[in-house]
Amino acid sequence: MAIFVKNIKQLVQVEEKPVVWRAGKEMQTFHKIEDAYLLTEGEKIVDFGKMCDFSPEKLSKIKEKIEEIDATGKFVFPSFCDSHTHIVYAGSREIEYVDKIKGLSYEEIAKRGGGILNSAKRLAEATEEELYEAAWARLQEMASLGTGAVEIKSGYGLTTETELKMLRVIRALKKNSPLIIRSNFLGAHAVPLAYKGKQQEYVDLIINEMIPMVATEDLADFIDVFCDKGFFTPEETERILMQGMKYGMRPKIHANELDYSGGIQVGVKYNALSVDHLEYTGDEEIAHLLGSETMPTFLPGAAFFLGMIYGPVRKMIDAGLPVALASDYNPGSSPSGNMQLILSMGCIKYKMLPEEALNATTINSAYAMGISDIAGSIAKGKTANFYITKPIPSVEFMPYSFGSNKVEQVVLKGKII
């Protein structure tokens, strides 16, 4: 199949010379073409430009059947890349949410059997098919809201068998979904009840049993650890990351959500692709990130839902760093995968300019999941992942009009969804 989108009011985030990310002041820039066309063939973008430079010969070179779309009055954006999610889970946790409204602390909820361990219990009882169906429905909704690539973590299993079960579900989603998917092994999400008071033994289990088995089935692109106060220490994180790297998994870690945990430093030391959450980021952490290949990633959905402090995004961009934004879609701290809302939160809560928030949710979040060579912008040879908006007046309208769906039509891997 080929797609010819014509009369596009504005084609946004186009790149003649693709970059891997945008940092510092560069985050305020992206290229756009007014009154544009876009041409795809198979799974790829093959051409784009101004309507006045379009000639019918361009279509005669296309071998596949061409579908024509008239986008008069509409914008075309590259699909969002959501570089941090936990969308394979069973059930939901709205009761804990109500408990939180009533004033219960995270610790009190955990004591009542809530939190990550609650999701682990439910996941153990669910079949692979049930988990697949539930995650598939979440992916469908995310796609309808403009997302075209998703990183998915394990971490609600917490036994070898159930972690493998989660990762096999992610593998099946990867194979069948129209979205680009990457998988992340997060055995170190929490210490399961069976290992209460024996954290070291659980870390040994991850290192000696889980990681080799995950690698044998080639189930994970990345390795993750919740490196934070009350969860896993920087020393435990180092041991887990080293073993994951030995088996070919690049680190991408949860860090500094609850405290100055040392997680950012460990992430940079092991060349993590990203360090995520980062509510507690000071000058020392910023100094470590500068000059590194690690993408600082913020998850405003979780900060909003839990009523936490917001990380120093403005300060970090002003210091010259790149920043990515992702949804953290999970049942406990961010039960939403709506990247349009994340775009708005970037502007409203972190004082990012619309251009910065757009880069943070496309090219920079593509980098944070290792796919900026194939996604995150409109460039020749990249995967044809984009959405066509309803008629809107400007790029700025996207974050401004928070809470409503501005996406009208979605194309993923060159197919209309």
User: Which of 254, 288, 382, 406 touches ligand NIG (CB under 6 A)?
Assistant: 254
Residue 151 found at the interface with Fe ion (CB under 5 A): no
| Distance of alpha carbon 305 from alpha carbon 336, whole angstroms | 10
Closest contact distance (angstroms) between CB of 391 and ligand NIG is: 36
For ligand NIG, the binding residues in 9-68 under the rule CB under 6 A are none
| Distance of alpha carbon 273 from alpha carbon 222, whole angstroms | 9
Neighbours of 193 (CB within 10 A): 11
How many residues make contact with ligand NIG (CB under 6 A)? 12
Is residue 102 packed enough to be buried (19+ CB in 10 Å), middle (13-18) or exposed (0-12)?
Answer: exposed
User: Which of 332, 346, 376, 399 touches ligand NIG (CB under 6 A)?
Assistant: 332
Is residue 210 packed enough to be buried (19+ CB in 10 Å), middle (13-18) or exposed (0-12)?
Answer: buried
Closest contact distance (angstroms) between CB of 85 and Fe ion is: 8
Neighbours of 161 (CB within 10 A): 10
Residue 414 found at the interface with ligand NIG (CB under 6 A): no
Residue 285 found at the interface with Fe ion (CB under 5 A): no
Closest contact distance (angstroms) between CB of 154 and ligand NIG is: 12
What single string gives the DSSP state of each residue in 85-144? E----SS--HHHHHHHHTT--HHHHHHTT-THHHHHHHHHHS-HHHHHHHHHHHHHHHHH
| Distance of alpha carbon 74 from alpha carbon 394, whole angstroms | 9
* Between 236 and 355, CB nearer to ligand NIG: 236
Residue 115 found at the interface with ligand NIG (CB under 6 A): yes
| Distance of alpha carbon 76 from alpha carbon 69, whole angstroms | 12
The SS3 of residue 411 is strand
User: Which of 221, 224, 257, 279 touches ligand NIG (CB under 6 A)?
Assistant: 257
Residue 333 found at the interface with ligand NIG (CB under 6 A): yes
Name every residue whose Cβ is closer than 8 Å to that of residue 291 and which is 6 or more positions away in sequence: none
User: Which of 119, 340, 365, 377 touches ligand NIG (CB under 6 A)?
Assistant: 119
How many residues make contact with Fe ion (CB under 5 A)? 1
Candidate ranges 73-81, 142-150, 324-332, 363-371; the one touching Fe ion (CB under 5 A): 324-332
Backbone angles phi, psi at 69, to 5 degrees: -125, 130
User: Which of 228, 236, 328, 356 touches Fe ion (CB under 5 A)?
Assistant: 328
Closest contact distance (angstroms) between CB of 391 and Fe ion is: 36
* Between 276 and 356, CB nearer to ligand NIG: 276
Residue identified by tokens 């690690």 is 294
Is residue 272 packed enough to be buried (19+ CB in 10 Å), middle (13-18) or exposed (0-12)?
Answer: buried
Closest contact distance (angstroms) between CB of 328 and Fe ion is: 5
Residue 302 found at the interface with ligand NIG (CB under 6 A): yes
| Distance of alpha carbon 330 from alpha carbon 216, whole angstroms | 27
* Between 92 and 405, CB nearer to Fe ion: 92
| 123: nearest Cα among 168, 165, 182, 184 | 165
Closest contact distance (angstroms) between CB of 118 and ligand NIG is: 8
What single string gives the DSSP state of each residue in 322-356? --EE----BTTTB----HHHHHHHHHHHH---HHH
User: Which of 82, 221, 328, 356 touches ligand NIG (CB under 6 A)?
Assistant: 328
Closest contact distance (angstroms) between CB of 230 and ligand NIG is: 11
* Between 78 and 331, CB nearer to ligand NIG: 331
User: Which of 14, 45, 116, 272 touches ligand NIG (CB under 6 A)?
Assistant: 116
Candidate ranges 33-41, 324-332, 369-377, 386-394; the one touching ligand NIG (CB under 6 A): 324-332
- Residue 261 binds which of Fe ion, ligand NIG, none (CB < 5-8 A, kind-dependent): none
Closest contact distance (angstroms) between CB of 299 and ligand NIG is: 7
Closest contact distance (angstroms) between CB of 333 and ligand NIG is: 4
Q: Which residues bind Fe ion (CB under 5 A)?
A: 328
Q: Which residues bind ligand NIG (CB under 6 A)?
A: 115-116, 119, 226, 254, 257, 302, 328, 330-333
